[in-house]
Amino acid sequence: MGYSHTNSKGKKYYLNSIKAKNGQTLYFFSKEPKKPCEMPEGRTVVENPLTFLPILKKK
């Protein structure tokens, strides 16, 4: 299983990653694990205060 985050409303989100055509790795959160991954180095999770969705940010 990959990294999961429970927001302040109690909903669970899973961190997923995909490879873009240009070779970069894109990270996104979803309600169901699609392509789960672990937390990348140098990143942290913050929560959007308006939508309560998790966001992956650089430290």
- Model confidence over 30-55: pLDDT tens digits? 999 999 999 999 999 999 999 999 99
- Per DSSP, what are the bridge partners of residue 12? 6
**Structural domain range at position 21:** 4-58
- Per DSSP, what are the bridge partners of residue 47? 54
The residue to which tokens 């966001």 are assigned: 55
The length of the chain in residues reads: 59
Dist. CA 59–CA 47, nearest whole Å: 14
Residue 1 has a pLDDT of 80
| Single-letter amino acid, residue 53 | L
Tokens of 4: 């999961």
Examine the pLDDT at 57 and tell me if it is beyond 90: yes
Name the domain count of the chain. Answer: 1
